[in-house]
Copies of this chain bind each other. A is one copy, B any other.
Amino acid sequence: MKPEGASLVGFGSGSPDGAIFRAFDPALNTSIEPVFISATLADADRAAQLATAAAPMWAALSGAERNLFLRLIADKLAQHAAVLAARATQETAIPLARCEGEIGRTVGQLRLYGDAAESGDWLDARIETAIPDRKPIPKPDHRSMMRPLGPVVVFGASNFPFAYSVAGGDTASALAAGCPVIVKAHPAHPGTSDLVGRLIVEAVKECGLPEGTFSLLFDAGIEIGQALVKHPLVKAVGFTGSLRGGRALADAAAARPEPIPVYAEMGSVNPVFILPGALAERSAALAGGLHASAMLGVGQFCTNPGLIVLQRTGAAAEFIRALTAKLAATAEATMLTPGITASFRKALDIRSRIPGVRTVGAALRRDESGHSSVAKAMADKKAPPTANCSAPVWFETDAVTFVRNHTLGEEIFGPSSLVVWCKDAAEMREVARHVEGSLTATLHAGKSEEAQPGDLVAILAAKAGRLVLNGFPTGVDVGHAMVHGGPYPATSDGGRSTSVGTRALTRWGRLICYQNFSENLLPPELQSANPRGVRRLVNGEWTIAAL
């Protein structure tokens, strides 16, 4: 099983006339086989037409049928895990074991969302029976539930070649909700996308589903993505990536003659507030945990802890010294793409020039080598970095500088975090108030602080989709209770939804109410006998019983 390089438009291939690009091995800094052909606008249109044609049949499937399909995709991913992981490692420089783990997560996600489709909980089915003798007018029978929105476009992410890509959470939840999916493959891992996409098409065929159920389009640029978001037959968009990219798509979708929802998860700064008591109780463990969390995936996680807020105490200085030693001992590692590497270095350079901002550990290193700039700090490493390698570079500043300089609150995608020194608890709260919307916010507290945390928890609750106590933000469990969302700019929808967990299905539905419908015209989930056994709110009581 090898990548073939053509877009998958339903059961066919994309046009051979599209612009050509190649996959890239960031570790070897060289392009790799095969050649990929960008989809044409005609391919995008055909994918949308096919998806629209497939939508009614796809929407009419039972949750159990959708579950079978999602589980077949999961089985195929598991079966081909070795070849998939090998290709992804080559294209992303993500270690093989992590690729294997991510495939496992993706498989579990497909099965969980399939189960969610089968249970039908997400449909929010409700029945209120007629009251013929109500005064002044009879009350009709009303039955309502979620129905799929229609064709969904999913943009794969660079940093999760499986879990947030072709068969990732957006695709799995949209299919589970009954929507056909068109994936715009991320050009950072086209071969992996190609392999996964072909497994999905196989599953579509084996299940006898319509060909428009799934398409996969390649494009090294933005033209196809923009065309898909503006296509009149496309009804919703899922995206994981940068703020700039997500906002551009959300703006394009909002400006359509018929606006459509864009669920864009755009990364975030993920502040970590460390109270003095936490340092007093477990400074070493905290330094180890924070370092490990921040270095995961070469800092290229959307939940990467990018902002560390502390009070200026001797214990805190000691804590940062310990952390600095760990950072200094951290080997460079290959980033996902040359573009991301270049952006990371540029962001470091810009940040290092902001007055009042210094590199963390510069003093430490200056003692040894006399260097203090970012370039020098990077040059301190034993081996010269290869083309796409980056070492961690952290910065520090004071609360006043942070509050005054908006750009210090922005994410740097890669292994760089900003330490913000506060003179007291009030300044910590002030920094918290100035933090932008984030996927997560973390609080480390000692026992007595945990008992009396003051306003900090409430301030942080207004800023994030997930609050972590005495832990680390990386690691997003896929379950019923997970929230992977948050106020803008973490997401485009202000944190009203989540892209991870079973609640992700509700993003792809709209509500329909049936008034005085006869049994044969109702969807099975709303028929009196409840043949699909879904949980329903019947005259004010939740039940799975028949009427």
Contacts and interface: CB of A to CB of B under 8 A. Distances in A.
B521 A450 contact: yes
Report how many copies the assembly holds: 2
Interface stretch (A166-174, A305-313, A368-376, A453-461): A453-461
A520 B451 contact: yes
A63 to B, nearest CB: 16
Interface in A455-495: 457-458, 461-462, 464-471, 475, 477, 479-483, 485, 487-489, 492-495
A259 B466 contact: no
B542 A128 contact: no
Interface in A413-460: 437, 450-451, 453, 457-458
A142 B481 contact: yes
Interface stretch (A199-207, A339-347, A509-517): A509-517
A496 interface: yes
Given A465-B512, A467-B515, A480-B537, A261 B458 contact: no
Given A457-B521, A535-B542, A511 B489 contact: no
A475 B134 CA distance: 13
A477 to B, nearest CB: 6
Nearest to A137: B475
Nearest to A470: B516
A260 interface: yes
Contact of A510 (B150, B489, B494, B521): B494
A497 to B, nearest CB: 7
Q: What are the 5 tightest A-B residue pairs by CB atom distance, in nearest-first order?
A: A483-B513, A254-B254, A495-B510, A126-B481, A142-B481
B468 A516 contact: yes
A481 B537 contact: yes
Contact of A483 (B254, B467, B468, B512): B512
A471 B513 CA distance: 14
A468 B260 CA distance: 26
A496 B509 contact: yes
Contacts of A181: none
A467 B258 CA distance: 21
A487 B147 CA distance: 12
B481 A510 contact: no
A521 B441 CA distance: 14
Given A258-B437, A465-B510, A480-B537, 9 more contacts: A142-B482, A254-B254, A258-B494, A259-B492, A261-B496, A465-B511, A467-B513, A482-B513, A498-B511
B494 A511 contact: no
A285 B255 CA distance: 45
A351 to B, nearest CB: 22
20 contacts: A128-B479, A128-B481, A142-B477, A142-B481, A143-B481, A235-B494, A254-B255, A254-B259, A259-B492, A465-B510, A465-B511, A466-B514, A466-B515, A468-B516, A469-B514, A469-B515, A469-B516, A469-B518, A495-B511, A496-B510
Contacts of A510: 465, 485, 487, 494-496
B259 A467 contact: no
B467 A514 contact: yes
A288 interface: no
A465 B515 contact: no
A255 B252 CA distance: 11
A466 B128 CA distance: 14
Interface in A35-79: 56
A540 interface: yes
A465 B497 contact: no
Interface string A139-165: 110111001011000000000000000
A339 to B, nearest CB: 26
